[in-house]
Structure 1
Amino acid sequence: MLPKSIGKLLNLETLDLKRSLVSELPAEISGLLKLRYLVAYNEDRDTKFNIDIRRGIKIPNGIRHLESLQKLYEIEATSATLITELGSLSQLRKLTISKLKKENGMDLCSAIQKMSHLRSLEIKATSEEEVLNLQSLPSPPLLLQTLSLHGRLEKLPEWIPKLKSIVRIVLTWSKLMEDPLKVLQALPNLMSLELCDGYGGEQLHIEGRSFQKLKELSFLNLGGLNRLLIDESALPLLEELQIGPCPQLKEVPTGIHHLKSLKKLKFTEMPTEFVHSLQPDEGPDFGKVKHIPSVLI
């Protein structure tokens, strides 16, 4: 923990504790009324990818006094009181919060609704299996540009279609059973989309004239996916497509030849028959991807 004397730095505007091993802040932090940037987290790069690979810090109740804060990254949702207090931070541009329990989701939504300047939002559940209860947000921050949700989603939050300024969305461990692309494809300014264990169904369909500005698309760790369809006129600006591991996907996505702007195609840990189908000499599907400058398998 930082020393309590940190509370004497009354003119402090930036507190950067990235990778500092500090895991908790003293109560005196709430007296730093000029604080604008509070950045603190630790990373465990020696472990396999999981929801705790980057850990936030514990902060005491009283954060409601830090009304000048613009960046708060990354704090743990240690209590319902703390989550409610976040609603006082109306100047926030960036918020990352971890260890969110299902029962605290509604309180967090109420707080976020008051953050009209928010540009970046990242929410992590207590574990990969914990449900994120984020439906109660009738008026999301309309300036939001990046959204990352890590944890189970019983369904895609109904407020996501309202995010007309959103540029990047990451859904990890969501395990959605309904095709999320039907909702996401209409977002007018979306440029980057990543689904990592974000969908548990068997088929994804990218419809014609969808994702008109998307440049980067990743389908990672989709264990049940066995078919991916891409309609003509979909993804007209897509430059990078990453797929895998997808152990049930045995053939190249139908319609991949429609992607005329694609510069990089990467497949990771795909089935043997899938890899063989793309071999330059005898692979039956090689012709579908030969127009792409970089194909990595």
Structure 2
Amino acid sequence: MDIEDLAERILAGERRALARAITLVESGRADHRAQARALIERLHGHENVALRVGLSGTPGVGKSTFIEAFGMMLTAQGLKVAVLAVDPSSARSGGSILGDKTRMERLSRDRNAFIRPSPSQSHLGGVARRTREAIDLCEAAGFDVILIETVGVGQSETVVAEMSDLFLLLLAPAGGDELQGVKRGIMETADIILINKADGDLKATATRTCADYAGALRLLRKRAQDPEGFPKALTVSAVEENGLDRAWDEMTALSDWRRETGHFEARRAAQARYWFEAEVREGLLARLRREPVKGAMAALAHQVEDGEISAAAAAEELLETYLGEVPQV
């Protein structure tokens, strides 16, 4: 593969080249990973700076419907929108339906939009490990807004936040009960909470739910990266396309404030360090899956199963053998 040619085509905004490059960065083959690293390095330092927006919410809350309506509104304004939709993978077969592009039929036909569904595989929070590299590729291709849709809610918010400039949480009216276990973590991470389905019989319920969350947000400790009034809760209707323009106005206002105050660049720098450390951890784990460590680990696992050695002692023995002396923590 001619990496230089592929990079030039991506910088020129060629969709086919972008799709091919994302396939390359998602591959787990060693030769493909080497090519992907070379491509990312070649594109490093491009001038375009997109607004990266992470979006999460419980299944059935209407994430795909919202993204399509929101994306259509942005493309109508002349903006180029990329959607990276992470689809849940089966724990048994490892397969994914990858149906997000089918759900977003209108947006998928828009010439100013690019939709790429990816399998979550086994990664935390349903965020594919190479999604951040796909974000870099879309940004290099000249897209103005990149939407990252993730699977479900929970601990994944930390991972999503480390990929995006803004993090949105989409909720359904009266959907608080199912979120009790993760509510505080979500509230501390979200920049804007959107109560979807604020239409028809649910409009009044959505308004009450929005007021509840707005009150809860005011109780949280103020974050340095937020201007007065943020984070905030809003109501939207993806079906009727109501409230989308206000939501976008709030997003741009928050983004502009962070750029003017230096928080935008500082956040990107912190994210770069976060992913460097994540790559180091992933590299160490990858070594455990290769020989001779793989065989030694299997042998020690059998001893642990038979009760011949404790799990902690076996782990320390393995790490000392292949990584040197392990410091006590």
Q: TM-score under structure 1 normalisation?
A: 0.31
More helix by share: 2
Q: TM-score under structure 2 normalisation?
A: 0.29
